[in-house]
Structure 1
Amino acid sequence: MKALIQRVSSASVKVDEYCIGAIEHGILAYIGLGHEDNLQSAQRMVDKILTYRIFENNSDPAKVGKLDQNVQQIGGGLLLVSQFTLMANTNNGRRPDFSGAMHPNAAQALFAELITYAKNQHPNVASGEFGADMQVESINDGPLNFLLEVKE
């Protein structure tokens, strides 16, 4: 499982010009699911995202400018968007190979479980719509982007 996380000032996702999810300051996370992924790896990924320290602590003079707070500590939002292209193999040729991505039916079910788990862990969670043509808008704060991986 891979997640591309971005620290954002705001982010939203639209389907058919209708906003289905939005957050203010927090994390926009694109989630890629692979063949080996399961509920346990999804839960580990959510836990990692929620506790990953990418926010500055401006309240402690000794830590100003240091990335030592996570999205839960700052009360930020989490926007989860399924992104099978993160699982692409780009090592050969000029066309991505998506054979490492989980089958869409299984991925849809696992992504739904991941969202449910995230909502049970954090009060401010929004999501995109699995398999939909989505328009994602974000204001990247930093910019700060990190590629996280969890392997079973």
Structure 2
Amino acid sequence: FSDENGKMNRNVIDAGGDVLAISQFTLLADCRKGRRPAFTDAAPPERAKKLYEHFVSELRKTGLSVPCGIFAADMAVSLTNDGPVTIILEL
């Protein structure tokens, strides 16, 4: 988030924001071999749920408000993407 000089130097806590945590297994779809996505590198559901819950727990430890979706549920999420960048985090 932008600081007083317009530089991206602030984090979500500094900006007074929240984090909406929605699990979405399709984020790990591999489409390098054509149009049909492969999910072979996705964690099994039991492991994925534990990872998701750990992620939410760690965010909440910072004092952030973290509303969540329902793991493995079919949800319709609507948002307005307001910003100049998209950041992909890889571990």
Deviations 1:59-85 (A, max 9, x none): xxxx2x211111011111111111111
Aligned-residue Cα RMSD (Å) equals 1.3
1:61-76 paired onto structure 2 within 5 Å: 63=5, 65-76=6-17
Q: Which whole-Å CA distance do the structure 2 matches of 1:122 and 1:81 have between them?
A: 18
Q: Percent identity?
A: 40
Question: What is the DSSP-based 3-state SS (H/G/I as helix, E as strand, rest coil) of the residue aligned with 2:19?
Answer: strand
Identify the residue that residue 35 of structure 2 maps to in structure 1: 94
Task: Tell me whether 1:112 sits opposite 2:53 in the alignment.
Answer: yes
Q: Give the TM-score of the pair, scaled to structure 2.
A: 0.89
Q: Which whole-Å CA distance do the structure 1 matches of 2:48 and 2:83 have between them?
A: 31
Identify the residue that residue 148 of structure 1 maps to in structure 2: 89
Q: Give the one of 3, 11, 20 matched to 1:79.
A: 20
1:21-60 paired onto structure 2 within 5 Å: 55-58=1-4
1:10-29 paired onto structure 2 within 5 Å: none
Residue 143 of structure 1 deviates from its aligned partner by 4.3
Q: Give the TM-score of the pair, scaled to structure 1.
A: 0.56
The residue type equivalent to 1:89 in the other structure is D
Q: Which whole-Å CA distance do the structure 1 matches of 2:34 and 2:85 have between them?
A: 29
Residue 122 of structure 1 deviates from its aligned partner by 2.7
Unpaired runs of 5+ in structure 1? 1-54
Q: Which structure dedicates a bigger proportion of its chain to helix? A: 1
Q: Does 1 or 2 have the higher relative contact order (CA < 8 Å, sep 6+)?
A: 1
Matched pairs, number: 91
The residue type equivalent to 1:95 in the other structure is R
Q: Which whole-Å CA distance do the structure 2 matches of 1:110 and 1:142 have between them?
A: 27
